[in-house]
Amino acid sequence: MNKIITTSQPILLFLSFFLILNSCSDSPKEPTKTATPKTTYPSDITPFFDHWKLILGDGSNAGFANNFEHKDFFFSKNDGKTNWVVYKTPNAGDTHGTSNNTRTELAQAKKWYPATADDKLNATLKVMNVSTTGDARVAASYSVVVGQIHSADGHENEPLKIFYKKFPGHTKGSVFWHYEINTAGEDNSGRWDYSTVVWGNDFSVVGTEENTYPEEPKDGIQLGEEFSYEIEVKNGVMSLKFTSEGHETKSFTKNLVESEYQTTADIPEQVQELFVPIGQDGVERKSAYSDEGLFFKLGCYNQTNGKSPDVNKNWCSGAETHDGDIQKQYESGNYAEVWFKTASIFVSAAAVSNEGYFTKND
């Protein structure tokens, strides 16, 4: 007698479920979707870019820099705690105007007159790099300008430049500020800067030989160390305040509408030593900058360049430029880089539209 063997219903259900799972395992899987990281632009960190236009380290004009970045010159960076705006520029490349120096720098899009002004610029920053090459006898070597007041009129001179400078091999560098005279007469070739120390040394402290450096300043600022500056111009007087944790707060004032350098007898000893020997021995107009429109600048204006010191022993550094190759300069440390954490600007009602804020001499 033949027996009929039947499969129970539970076993059939198990086999069906197994076949379904096995079939699913052979099916292509949907790729995992990941969100695209949101770009943090410099204008997200210091949201004041409606007031400025930006020049980059290749000489190009980026205009108003809202929602803008450039991987070589202008971008954001997080140091693990804080977002910063990075301004970076090589020792050599295409420069703006008649300057010998490259810059990644903002220029204020309005000008104002010092006699009627009530204008302010504040910033907190840290300098991350200055050129590793240059001639130590040249005062501008190894330095960068991180803030300015510039004239838009006349000779287009600069009543304020704020410098950071550090010699190779030193741990600490110097912060100092310059006043450039607004030269009397039509000839501006005699203009000169007077340098005032904040921390460390002033512009005039240089090496005795090309690669011989002066003593390191005891009260200087290190690369990567934060400091702040506050600039106010009100009723013709410029007031400056510099602060940094662990350092003495320093304050200064300078009259911008009445000169203290109207005769050759008024030329300071520092200028007699630095500038007069190379023919920069001018005097200043009595009214200084009183009738000229001024504007703020902020960023990374590299003062180290590749021009021979034979051209000008104060401003031409003879530094390494790798024939203008930007990436090679970055790789070898021949660049300036400044990070800004905060910055703010206040412009009084006296400010007027300035079509020519990028001037020929800036």
* Tokens read off for 336: 């300036």
Residue 93 confidence (pLDDT): 82
pLDDT tens-digit readout, 35-63:
667 899 999 999 999 999 999 999 999 99
pLDDT tens-place string over residues 97-153: 667 899 999 999 999 999 999 999 999 999 999 999 999 999 999 999 999 999 999
Tell me the pairing of strands 143-151 and 294-302: antiparallel
In this structure, is residue 133 part of a structural domain?
yes
**100, part of any domain:** yes
Q: Domain of 220? A: 40-257+287-353
Q: What are phi and psi of 340, to 5 degrees?
A: -110, 125
Q: Is residue 121 included in any domain, yes or no?
A: yes
pLDDT tens-digit readout, 244-289: 999 999 999 999 999 999 999 999 999 999 999 999 999 999 999 9
In a domain, 291, yes or no: yes
Angle at Cα 99 formed by Cα 95 and Cα 102, nearest 5°? 40
H/E segment holding residue 99: none
For 248, which DSSP code? -
- Please state, in angstroms and rounded to a whole number, the distance separating the CA atoms of residues 234 and 148: 16
In a domain, 263, yes or no: no
- The predicted pLDDT at position 4 comes to 38
- Domains held by the chain: number: 1
User: Which phi and psi angles does 307 have, rounded to 5°?
Assistant: -70, 150
Name the DSSP class of 23: H
How far is residue 125's CA from residue 301's CA, in Å, rounded to a whole number? Answer: 14
Question: Does the pLDDT value for residue 14 go beyond 70?
Answer: no
Give the type of residue at 73.
Answer: F
**Is residue 236 a part of any domain in this protein?**
yes
DSSP 212-270: B--PPPTT-EETT--EEEEEEEETTEEEEEEE-TTS--EEEEEESSS-S--SGGGS-HH
- In total, the chain counts a number of residues equal to 362
Residue among 61, 53, 133, 54 nearest 92 (CA): 133
Q: Specify the CATH number for the domain of residue 318.
A: 2.60.120.200
**31 three-state secondary structure:** coil
pTM for the complete prediction?
0.89
Kindly report the number of other CB atoms within 10 A of residue 225's CB atom: 16
Extended beta strands in 110-192, E state: 110-111, 118-129, 143-151, 160-165, 172-180
Cβ–Cβ under 8 Å, residues 357 and 107:
yes
Evaluate whether residue 24 is within a structural domain: no
pLDDT of residue 95: 73
Calpha distance 10→13 (Å, rounded): 5
Whether residue 19 is contained in a domain is answered as no
Tell me the β-bridge partners of 11. Answer: none
**Which residue has tokens 């410029």?**
238
As a whole-number percent, the residues of the chain with pLDDT over 90 amount to 83
Residue that is written with structure tokens 């052979």 in the block: 26
